[in-house]
DNA sequence: TGTACATCAGTGAACGCGCGTTCACTGATGTAC
DNA sequence: TGTACATCAGTGAACGCGCGTTCACTGATGTAC
């Protein structure tokens, strides 16, 4: 059942994207390779034709999640701090979905995360207009950290009103900065 | 080898505290019951004389972590956003250490977390002086979410200077609010 | 207060299970002639 | 262009391992008389 090079590359990509979603939805440790392979429409035996280890997939899946986030869109904070984002971690921000797990990942994964974070910081800083670049970058650092913390807290809390209040007040707060 | 009631209660407490530390240090899923029992100076077989399940221990250990945090001390933000706190998750804030894992825990655990978060919000709000209570509470919500996000980001990032900058800028930012 | 007995905290071995990983095998693909 | 063969993506079963959980057993404790 050998596949063409193009099919092989597509399969590999499918596995990475399935992993990126599953990790954000259920956590890295809680997601088994068999789950991911099944989500990609395969059996788990074939995994090692594409990757050396689960750790390698983790690094690539996280990089893919961060890449998919892309540049910071207009009205970024409003969308980031929405109930929709809170309720759909699988399609949302990696830092919010996996923050504390990410902090314990190996250096490959954390370096990918660092690069993507810096890229997001720069993209956001550019939108701060006519302040000096250092100040803009500092603001962006603060805003991104604060936003990911707010989404995480809004997901932990069991009271829906409190959860909504966390997002609403953080939105207002960042609008005034 | 039956133990006295007092000894039994002390043992139970020791298990909970060992779990609270181990969970924050290594993550909840990554920490085995045998690890915890060994840290408490016991063999793993005795676990079920004290708890019904790992989930029950998770809830109690998280509650203990949150309780140990206690009231919001003076110069709270400066200490919370320190390199020392960043480098010692085992003795630090539960939300920062386990945020994304906590968001996937059962309702018992998340309710304990919610109650403790609200308590911390109120304690911090009181320190905002002469603004009206609602505004103070909103500020406290924002500050606590932002701080936990900043510590988490500072732990993910591999560049020490960037990590320090995240904490420094968040400290400055919250000082001006 | 002293004795006989039921309780139960803790031990250490065992359980089933799911995990990451490996492997023999299949058969379509790509390559060499 | 056609044929023969090596490659290798994917399957499905198996591996060892560590996990949460259970259990028979031990012996000090607390209780009933």
Q: How far apart are CA A61 and CA A108, in angstroms?
A: 12
Q: Report the Cα B152 to chain-centroid distance in Å.
A: 12
Q: How far apart are CA A150 and CA B152, in angstroms?
A: 12
A53 touches strand C (CB under 7 A): yes
What pLDDT digit, counting tens, does each position of A21-45 carry? 999 999 999 999 999 999 999 999 9
Q: Which of A117, A142, A153 is the closest to B157 by Cβ?
A: A117
pLDDT at B44 over 80: yes
| Complete DSSP assignment for A44-87 | GGGGGGT-S-HHHHHHHHHHHHHHHH-S--TTHHHHHTSHHHHH
**d(CA A1, C1' C23) / Å:** 17
Q: Please report the sign of the dihedral spanned by the C-alpha atoms of residue B157, residue B159, residue B162, residue B168.
A: positive
Q: How far apart are CA B87 and CA A42, in angstroms?
A: 41
Contacts with A104 from chain B: Cβ below 8 Å = 26-27, 30
Residue predicted with more confidence, B131 or A145: A145
B42 touches strand C (CB under 7 A): yes
Q: How far apart are CA B174 and CA B139, in angstroms?
A: 10
CB count within 10 Å of CB B94 equals 27
Asked if A156 and B113 come within 8 Å (Cβ–Cβ), the reply is yes
Protein residues in reach of strand D (CB < 7 A): A 1-3, 7-8, 11, 37, 42-46, 49-50; B 1-6, 31-35, 44-45, 47-48, 53-55
What pLDDT digit, counting tens, does each position of A141-162 carry? 999 999 999 999 999 999 999 9
Residues 6 or more apart from A148 whose CB is under 8 A from it? A93, A95, A96, A99, B149, B152, B153
**d(CA A27, C1' C25) / Å:** 34
Indicate the SS3 state at residue A132.
coil
Asked if B145 and A156 come within 8 Å (Cβ–Cβ), the reply is no
pLDDT value at residue B32: 98
pLDDT at A110 over 70: yes
Contacts with A128 from chain B: Cβ below 8 Å = none
Asked if A158 and B97 come within 8 Å (Cβ–Cβ), the reply is no
Q: Report the Cα A79 to chain-centroid distance in Å.
A: 14
Residue of B nearest to A146 (CA): B146
Residue of A nearest to B151 (CA): A145
CB A76 within 8 A of CB A147: no
Q: Mean of the pLDDT values across residues B116-128? A: 94
Residues 6 or more apart from A154 whose CB is under 8 A from it? A86, A163, A164, A166, A167
DSSP letter for B166, please.
Answer: H
pLDDT value at residue B132: 93
Any idea which nucleotide's C1' is nearest the CA of A42?
Answer: D10
End-to-end CA distance of chain B: 58
pLDDT at B117 over 70: yes
**Measured between CA atoms, how close is B122 to chain A, in angstroms?**
13
**d(CA A45, C1' D16) / Å:** 16
pTM, to two decimals: 0.95
**Measured between CA atoms, how close is A93 to chain B, in angstroms?**
12
Contacts with A99 from chain B: Cβ below 8 Å = 99-100, 149, 152-153, 156
pLDDT value at residue A76: 86
pLDDT value at residue B100: 98
């Amino acid at each position: 059942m050998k596949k063409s090079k193009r099919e092989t590359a597509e399969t590999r990509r499918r596995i990475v994207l399935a992993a990126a979603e599953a990790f954000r939805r259920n956590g890295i440790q809680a997601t088994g390779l068999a789950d991911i392979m099944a989500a990609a429409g395969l059996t788990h035996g074939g995994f090692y034709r594409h990757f050396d280890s689960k750790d390698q997939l983790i690094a690539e899946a996280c990089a893919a999640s961060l890449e998919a986030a892309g540049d910071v869109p207009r009205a970024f904070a409003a969308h980031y701090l929405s109930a929709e984002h809170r309720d759909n971690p699988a399609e949302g921000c990696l830092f919010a979905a996996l923050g504390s797990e990410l902090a314990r990942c190996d250096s490959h994964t954390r370096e990918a995360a660092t690069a993507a974070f810096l890229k997001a910081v720069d993209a956001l800083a550019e939108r701060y207009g006519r302040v000096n670049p250092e100040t803009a970058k500092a603001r962006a650092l603060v805003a991104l950290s604060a936003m990911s913390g707010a989404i995480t807290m809004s997901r932990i809390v069991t009271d829906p009103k409190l959860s909504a209040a966390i997002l609403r007040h953080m939105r207002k707060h960042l609008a005034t900065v």
